[in-house]
């Protein structure tokens, strides 16, 4: 379809809301995206017409639900160009996927092994690895970043050695919008035999990664940042690594055979999908993938880059305003502060004017510590936002500055 912004906005019921008497300007898309009517209808259709448990039933409803759920897995496989559908593991979200991998490697790593994270990770891609190190005796090392909010790859190269077993990096920084050079990071890690996990929570609504082209070992993301529902995401893992890792949870579905003497486990993906999954969520994730591809990621990227450029220029016209994350490769995120004003106060005032932004450290406290700030105001744009909404943000920030100075 052609990029018809008004038609797209009409697909999102919530965008017609008013907040405090003002039209809603939703600029917190890095936290979660809004949902189009097509995804909402998919959820209603599932519960209205074919709600049933999957994989086990011979009755019609179970077969219909199973077919729809597995069709969604295949859509996701095709979208990300995974080699096999069974390499797509449904999870409860990005954090769940990271913890699943960390749990598996807790039985593989040994004392003295090294793992690497970047300085700009979300807490979800820091804490599980710290816990892993505490359990195994592995050593955690950090790729530093510069003042622009860009990783220093020459320092990363110095960290890599034959002891490096795992590298973890986000594709896009949730706090800064920086797009990291993951293809280069993966290639360099593979030279020393290390596996790479990429946190794609912030990238997949803006970028269409190709898992085979990247040669990534693990990739995690969440549906709710891609116009899908909360409580569902995926972990991609290469088949050979999936066969190597032990199960994360025990229960139904993930077994081949159970006796009181011994249990054998199912193959991928069921080995890592214990219990009844979020069936409706998985199906609706597939509907969200369809919706985004119908618009087209080239059109999405073009429009969001226009929003980013315009917002950056207009906000920098405000005296005392500083943007954090000024690297050359970014998604549509602008994190900023105004000198002498706490970001929470700005966020509170712009909310009174109907504008939703995020304030705080964005679960990326090491980034804030690097800049020696308590947090930022983060405006994160999606393909359904408009230049007029950017103007509304800029005017609201000007008003907040006037009131708080």
Distance in angstroms (rounded) separating the CA atoms of residues 315 and 322: 9
- 134 by Cβ neighbours in 10 Å (0-12 / 13-18 / 19+) ranks as exposed
Q: In terms of Cα–Cα distance, which of 376, 370, 321, 373 is closest to 345?
A: 376
Question: How many CB atoms within 10 Å of residue 103?
Answer: 18
Q: In terms of Cα–Cα distance, which of 246, 229, 120, 130 is closest to 179?
A: 120
Asked whether the beta carbons of 206 and 332 are under 8 A apart, the reply is: yes
Partners of 380 in the β-ladder: 28, 333
> For residue 274, what are its two tokens?
């214990």
Q: In terms of Cα–Cα distance, which of 378, 391, 385 is closest to 347?
A: 378
> Three-class SS of residue 396?
helix
Partners of 334 in the β-ladder: 379
Q: In terms of Cα–Cα distance, which of 327, 331, 324, 333 is closest to 302?
A: 331
Q: What are the residue numbers of the active site?
A: 363
Q: Walk across the sheet containing 139-143 and list its strands.
A: 88-91, 233-237, 218-222, 195-199, 164-170, 114-118, 139-143
Asked whether the beta carbons of 359 and 347 are under 8 A apart, the reply is: yes
Alpha helices in 277-374 (DSSP H): 279-295, 297-315, 343-352, 365-371
Contacts of 274 (CB under 8 A, 6+ apart): 247, 248, 249, 250, 251, 252, 253, 254
> For residue 125, what are its two tokens?
């891609």
Question: How many CB atoms within 10 Å of residue 310?
Answer: 15
What is the C-alpha radius of gyration for the chain, rounded to an integer number of angstroms?
Answer: 22
Asked whether the beta carbons of 221 and 234 are under 8 A apart, the reply is: yes
- Give yes or no for a cis peptide into 26 (omega within 30° of 0): no
């Amino acid at each position: 379809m052609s990029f018809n912004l008004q038609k797209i906005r009409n697909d999102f019921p919530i965008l017609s809301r008013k907040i405090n008497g003002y039209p809603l300007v939703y600029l917190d898309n890095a936290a979660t995206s809004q949902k189009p009517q097509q995804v909402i209808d998919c959820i209603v259709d599932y519960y209205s017409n074919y709600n049933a448990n999957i994989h086990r039933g011979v009755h019609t409803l179970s077969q219909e639900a199973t077919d729809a759920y597995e069709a969604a897995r295949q859509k996701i496989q095709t979208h990300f160009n995974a080699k096999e559908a069974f390499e797509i593991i449904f999870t409860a979200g990005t954090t769940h996927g990271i913890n699943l991998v960390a749990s598996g490697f807790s039985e593989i790593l040994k004392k003295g092994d090294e793992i690497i994270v970047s300085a700009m990770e979300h807490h979800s891609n820091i804490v599980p690895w710290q816990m892993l190190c505490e359990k195994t005796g592995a050593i955690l090392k950090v790729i530093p970043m510069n003042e622009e909010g860009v990783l220093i790859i020459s320092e990363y190269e110095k960290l890599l050695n034959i002891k490096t077993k795992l590298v973890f990096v986000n594709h896009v920084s949730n706090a800064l919008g920086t797009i990291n050079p993951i293809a280069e990071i993966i290639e360099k890690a593979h030279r020393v035999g290390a596996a790479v996990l990429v946190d794609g929570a912030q990238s997949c609504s803006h970028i269409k990664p190709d898992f085979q082209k990247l040669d990534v070992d693990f990739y995690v993301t969440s549906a709710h940042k891609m116009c899908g529902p909360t409580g569902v995401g995926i972990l991609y893992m290469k088949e050979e690594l999936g066969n190597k890792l032990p199960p994360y949870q025990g229960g139904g579905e993930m077994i081949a055979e159970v006796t009181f003497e011994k249990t054998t486990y199912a193959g991928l993906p069921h080995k890592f999908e214990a219990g009844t999954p979020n069936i409706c969520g998985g199906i609706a994730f597939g509907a969200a993938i369809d919706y985004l591809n119908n618009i087209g990621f080239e059109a999405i990227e073009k429009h969001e880059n226009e929003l980013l450029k315009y917002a950056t220029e207009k906000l920098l016209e405000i005296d005392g305003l500083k943007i954090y994350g000024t690297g050359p490769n970014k998604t549509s995120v602008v994190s900023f502060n105004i000198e002498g004003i706490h970001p929470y106060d700005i966020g509170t005032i712009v909310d009174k004017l109907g504008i939703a932004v995020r304030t705080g450290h964005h679960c990326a406290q090491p980034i804030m510590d690097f800049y020696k700030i308590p947090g930022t105001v983060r405006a994160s744009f999606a393909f359904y936002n408009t230049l007029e909404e950017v103007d509304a943000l800029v005017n609201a920030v000007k008003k907040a500055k006037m009131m708080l100075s």
